[in-house]
Amino acid sequence: MTRSSAGRGNWPFGPTSLSNPISFARPGLMSRTIVVDDPVVAGLLNRLPSAAALGHSRRSFLEHLLCTWRILADWRMPVAVCRAGFMHSAYSTSFYPHALFSLDERDAVTHMIGREAEELAFRFCTMDRRGFWDALVKRPRSGTLTYPNRLRAGAPVRVSRQTLRSLLIIKRQHCRTGPNRG
């Protein structure tokens, strides 16, 4: 069982913020119980049936998304980063081709998880990450930061250091949830 210790202090998730955190587990769907103590993420579980049917790293795609969210929440990342982690492949990625939503549904996703979280999820999905992080490390610290947009033939997209930092945090933890890079 994965359980957060995040209920201390003024952290918004955990037993102090919800009277009944949701313990999500379905036979054959997930290999462990994940406590979902963000009401927005909990509310999305029944709205993403296709994620439960898709595979990802020898488990369901939904389990992968929940593990991504749980790790970020346990790391006490900002709520928007946690929710973006939950939806980090909502529009498909350069490594995972299965979209839960079309790009025409961005407004609906924004309504579900919030503007900042959707913007991070959208950027994560549209970033062509093949070799990007390695190339970024080799760049000088100064200058404009851009990432290649996989939907526009690698066209550069300007990004702030804070946004890039959040995307890297999602990428880093997401690698911990399974061998696939999706």
Q: Strand (E) positions, the chain?
A: 22-24, 34-36, 55-56, 59-60, 146-149, 155-158
Model confidence over 61-109: pLDDT tens digits? 888 888 899 999 988 999 999 999 999 989 988 888 889 999 999 999 9
8 lies in a domain? no
Model confidence over 76-85: pLDDT tens digits? 999 999 999 9
Domain count, the chain: 1
CB 80 within 8 A of CB 41: no
Query: How remote is the C-alpha of 46 from its chain's centroid?
Result: 17
The pair of three-digit structure tokens given for residue 150, joined into one six-digit string: 């996989």
182 lies in a domain? no
- Please state, in angstroms and rounded to a whole number, the distance separating the CA atoms of residues 16 and 6: 9
pTM given for the model: 0.74
3 lies in a domain? no
11 lies in a domain? no
